[in-house]
Structure 1
């Protein structure tokens, strides 16, 4: 049975097609095989066509549990095998889990309705969390500054200092960075409709000065623009993701191993290093480290348990200390 139709897909909701492009980019960054990525892509393109024909071309992330259940019932009525239906479920569930976990891109998405729909094989894709040490972040910043990649350096430094989500970082404008004594951005919109500025250290401010001086005068308000060509314009949010992924090759050349960091990784290791007392911005703050309640505020989390989930699990280390003999 073929759900995918090229003509239909090209007319389908642009938000669904953009979401699929984002997800495929994420799968590539995880190092999945071309065959596996093709499977996910084919399944999801077919489902997007089905949404166009049967669910008023709604945005995938606006669909409810009953909508996904109706699709599964349709597949059963078409007498597909359980294995084939489970594959569809797995593809859709994985895409929704990506939207749920990566609150950089989809901050309003707070629940995966597919999580409660059982299947014969409900294994979820596990996303590896990368924690860089402060000295590794410093190495990256020095490398980028030495090679005059100021925009990437600013993106990394601002993300590392503020622990902001990528969607929040993307919303930052260039205004205010050159104001003496000010170490925060203009307010941005965060998850759940919250509005707040992102705070940063003197390191980020110094990099911003280098970047804006090299950038020169233009009429684009966004902090992030294309750096090639005569006409300056804001880059896509995907480009910030690619900025982060591009750092992997620099790390691999220096440390002789693949460190699969993404834009969301920066949020994890930023918070972790603040807690460990190793974050370079702590000296600027005059602090030895940040406690969990302050990390919650910095991350703009509604629940402290969410903040805990961003940090390393040290339970086994604590037990080792108790039973040293």
Structure 2
């Protein structure tokens, strides 16, 4: 297995000039978020390096479906997950659509090289999708309390209460400790947070959280003391400066600390699935979980609700 490396500037300079130009035009679309731009730029550079190395550096309008299949096989042979291959495939397909739409008069015979005849890579889950049980969640909370890991505890409580994604949690401002509950409601609302969505603005939402999360945040802020950083979740540099955490900090907490406590793999997105699953198992309808997670469709929410199949099997044989 050969590792797939990022494209260097020297390698990119060897790519066909038209392919460089069309890539930049495509990436300059204003509806792409900063994170999406980073992913797309990397994916397209990797693709055109492949085209340079194995497709005689042809311009994109001369590529055929067989080249797309060859590229997909190239990625799979290097051990990329099915989701990683699908992402790189979809980026190339989007670029092809861009060429068809805006350069159709110049290249009327060009068609998207990823057509329906090229199958998606088979889905292979490296890790079982399994949310935390109530017992595992409480063990995690209790252990962090005993260790006085107040920032980690605030992260767990807030992430679970809101069902928020890692990047959304990272944006939380410490001003929320001064917020009051929504009038007549048993919950608090955050300030506006940029959530996952198209465009640079994404989907703007206020996240909902409960007393347990508020208490944990207040405890952490009190222990942390005064500093100029406006964010709840922070790290301190060697020079003593307090900065907003990187998203990878949450990954580290989950993989190195929470996993050891629970006794099996824990990851940030698992808390989102855990919240959705617990809501539905407690008797709440799927629409309640949908509203909390901010999904446009309940069908998306159903993906996050992972239940054991024993009850369904019992019903089938009763």
Question: For this structure pair, what is the TM-score category when the shorter chain's length is used for normalisation?
Answer: 0.5 to 0.7
Q: Which runs of 5+ in 1 are unaligned?
A: 1-35, 101-108, 253-258, 278-288
Equivalent pairs, count: 258
SS in 2 for 1:260: coil
Q: For the Cα contact (< 8 Å) 2:229–2:244, is it kept in 1?
A: yes
* Separation of aligned partners in 1, 2:317 and 2:9: 54
* Separation of aligned partners in 2, 1:127 and 1:243: 20
* Aligned match of 2:131: 131
SS in 1 for 2:190: coil
Q: In proportion to residue count, which structure has more strand?
A: 2
* Separation of aligned partners in 2, 1:47 and 1:96: 24
**C-alpha displacement of 1:180:** 4.0
**C-alpha displacement of 1:145:** 1.3
* Aligned match of 1:177: 177
TM-score for the superposition, normalised by structure 1: 0.66
* Separation of aligned partners in 2, 1:147 and 1:191: 33
SS in 2 for 1:220: coil
TM-score for the superposition, normalised by structure 2: 0.67
Q: Which runs of 5+ in 2 are unaligned?
A: 25-36, 58-68, 95-113, 183-187
Residue 62, structure 1, aligned to residue 61, structure 2: no
Residue 235, structure 1, aligned to residue 249, structure 2: no
Q: For the Cα contact (< 8 Å) 1:275–1:292, is it kept in 2?
A: yes
Paired residues for 1:106-255 under 5 Å: 113=92, 116=114, 122-128=121-127, 129-181=129-181, 183-192=188-197, 193-227=202-236, 229=238, 230-245=240-255, 246-252=257-263
CA RMSD of aligned residues (A): 3.8
Q: For the Cα contact (< 8 Å) 2:229–2:242, is it kept in 1?
A: yes
Residue 76, structure 1, aligned to residue 85, structure 2: no
SS in 2 for 1:177: helix
* Aligned match of 1:31: none
Q: For the Cα contact (< 8 Å) 2:163–2:272, is it kept in 1?
A: yes
* Separation of aligned partners in 2, 1:121 and 1:301: 25
Residue 44, structure 1, aligned to residue 44, structure 2: no
**Greater gyration radius:** 2
Q: Which contiguous aligned blocks of 4+ residues in structure 1 show a shift greater than 6 angstroms?
A: 64-69, 82-85, 117-121
* Separation of aligned partners in 1, 2:9 and 2:312: 47
* Aligned match of 1:308: 302
* Separation of aligned partners in 2, 1:168 and 1:228: 23
SS in 2 for 1:126: coil
